[in-house]
Amino acid sequence: MKKAENSKKKESVALSSVFASTLMTIMKFIVGVMTGSMGIISEAAHSALDLGAAGLTLFAVKVSDKPADDKHPYGHGKVESVSALIETGLLFLTSAWIIYEAVHRMLNKNIEVEATWYAFVVIIISIIIDISRSRALKKVAKETNSQALEADALHFSSDIWSSCVVLIGLILVAFGIKGADAFAAIGVSIFVLVAGYRLGKRTIDVLIDTAPEGISDIVRETIDKIEGVIAIDKIRVRPLGATVFIEAELSINRSFSIIKVNEIVTNAREAIMQKIIGADVLIHTKPIQLKDETIIDIVRTIASKHVLSVHSIVIDNLEKHKFISYDLELPGNLTVFKGHEIASHLEKEIQAEIGGEIEINTHVDPYLVEEKISDKISEKETLLIEKTVAEIIGSVGILKDAHNILIRKINNKIFLTLHCYAKGEETIEESHSQASRLKYLIKEKIREIENVVVHVEPEV
């Protein structure tokens, strides 16, 4: 929605510039011919140039806002730069012609100039219109970050000063100072050349992908504040019309989950786009190993790389020999052969990464690969299980008050979930140990139960 509004603003202000340039060109040319003023004729030529430039700008802002496609993956933003480059060439050609004509008049001294009242009126009207158009163009150029509109604003700004020079020339002519008009024409040309140089330099910088000054520093400072970024390896900035394409490569802790990495990337992109209006940001990440990475971190990272999940990792040492054991979660419908193959490959990678004398033991923990339809059990069975659970939990140290008990059957196997309380200051390790003991005792007492899930809550 914002982009569509900006496009409308750009087209509207560009169209108004076309009308303004047309009006000024006609007025200046007629008055220039009637008075014989080279200064006013040069201003008419300058306005004609502005008319062409305004037409190019209108075309550019219409085309540049078209969305990216297969042939133009970065969009059509450089159309604005191409139009600005054409305007620059026209500025220099016009200046050369004006200077030639002015010098020719000064050498021949055979053309009389009339400083009539309507000559003054047309120049003053021109200055008023130029001030109005310059302000309007600058305002929209700033709001939409449009290079083409900024170039148009520069044109109208230079016109203000050049018109002032012509006005001074006419005043001097009115006081009988010969040659003042020709000097005024040369003064106009100097302003035009300066404007052309500035516009040309900016346009060429964009066309050869010169990074806007200070943008890389802003990007670096912004990313440095993002939590989780270890280092910024590369920053690339490419201006294209109203858009600045920014690419950055960041070093991220390799043990981070995909979700965590995505969060870091999102935070970096949003922070940059808030700082730099019109930025199109692409972030690349490079996983790196930290110096303080533990063996548990290494095991989890290698498993994650293969989209595997491990838990219950235990590291112990005996007589300078290291032992690693963990539970590896695999789909329950895999064959023993396939499961062993996956486990062995994971063990080899961990061995190669850690090195030294280590022994790795993997316990494969199966999980269901699809949703199952469960059935209710009879009221009699439910009461019996609830009673048994209440009796057993009383014998388990820190756990008490079993509640939210849910019992159901899946493929004629009973699955039980329950909640219970423990003191809030107890460690997770101790509560887990007691929950495992409770689970074992329940399964021992009720052989029909396939699995028990115990959720421990802090006592209120």
Give the tens place of pLDDT for each residue, 72-109.
Answer: 555 555 666 666 666 677 677 767 776 776 676 666 65
Could you count the other beta carbons within 10 Å of the beta carbon of residue 296? Answer: 15
Average pLDDT over the chain reads 77
Q: What is the sign of the dihedral through the CA atoms of 270, 272, 278 and 284?
A: negative
Q: Average pLDDT of 247-256?
A: 89
Domain 379-458 has CATH 3.30.70.1350: yes
Report pLDDT for 412: 81
* Domain 215-288 CATH superfamily: Cation efflux protein, cytoplasmic domain (3.30.70.1350)
DSSP H/E element including 422? strand 413-422
Q: Look at 124 and 391; give whichever has higher pLDDT.
A: 391
Lookup result for tokens 């440095």: 224
Q: Is residue 449 within 8 Å of residue 388, measured between CB atoms? A: no
Nearest-CA neighbor of 415 among 367, 377, 449, 368? 449
DSSP H/E element including 457? strand 449-458
Condensed to tens digits (0 to 9), the pLDDT of residues 272-323 reads 988 887 788 989 999 888 887 888 889 998 998 888 999 889 988 877 788 9
Exposure on the CB side of residue 399, measured as CA atoms within 13 A: 28
Q: How far is CA 39 from CA 102, 121, 190, 215, 413, in A?
A: 8, 14, 13, 42, 100
Nearest-CA neighbor of 61 among 152, 134, 132? 152
Who's near 156: CB < 8 A, 6+ residues apart? Answer: 17, 50, 130, 133, 134, 137
Report pLDDT for 17: 65
Q: CA torsion 29→30→34→37, rounded to 10°?
A: -20
Query: Measured between alpha carbons, how far is 32 from 114 in angstroms, rounded to an integer?
Result: 9
Q: Is residue 85 within 8 Å of residue 207, measured between CB atoms? A: yes
Q: Look at 183 and 407; give whichever has higher pLDDT.
A: 407
What three-state secondary structure class fits 239?
A: strand
Condensed to tens digits (0 to 9), the pLDDT of residues 65-82 reads 665 566 655 555 566 666
Tokens of 43: 């201003």
Q: How far is CA 300 from CA 253, 255, 288, 360, 423, in A?
A: 13, 7, 14, 14, 30
pTM over 0.85: no
Locate CATH 3.30.70.1350 in the chain. 215-288, 298-367, 379-458
Nearest-CA neighbor of 61 among 125, 3, 118? 3
Residue type, 224: D
Who's near 353: CB < 8 A, 6+ residues apart? Answer: 298, 302
Buried b (16+ CB within 10 A) or exposed e, 346-367: bbebbeeebeeebebebeeeee
Domain 2-207 has CATH 3.40.920.10: no
Who's near 368: CB < 8 A, 6+ residues apart? Answer: 332
DSSP H/E element including 203? helix 180-207
Q: How far is CA 324 from CA 299, 312, 336, 349, in A?
A: 9, 10, 21, 13
185 band by pLDDT with thresholds 50, 70 and 90: low
Residue 1 pLDDT greater than 50, yes or no: no
Query: Measured between alpha carbons, how far is 190 from 451 in angstroms, rounded to an integer?
Result: 89
Who's near 234: CB < 8 A, 6+ residues apart? Answer: 247, 248, 249
Q: Is residue 60 within 8 Å of residue 148, measured between CB atoms? A: yes
Helix axes 180-207, 38-64, angle to 10 degrees: 20
- Sheet bearing 243-253, strands edge to edge: 229-240, 243-253, 279-288
Q: Which CATH number fits domain 298-367: 3.40.640.10, 3.40.50.1010, 3.30.70.1350, 3.60.70.12?
A: 3.30.70.1350
Report pLDDT for 381: 86
| 53 phi/psi in degrees, rounded to 5 | -65, -40
Report pLDDT for 130: 72
Tokens of 154: 């520069």
73-79: long-range pairs with CB below 8 Å, 24+? 74/238, 74/240, 74/245, 75/240, 75/241, 75/243, 76/241, 77/240, 77/241, 77/242, 77/243, 78/206, 78/207, 78/240, 78/241, 79/241
Between 88-102, 281-295, 337-351, 382-396, the lowest mean confidence (pLDDT) is in: 88-102
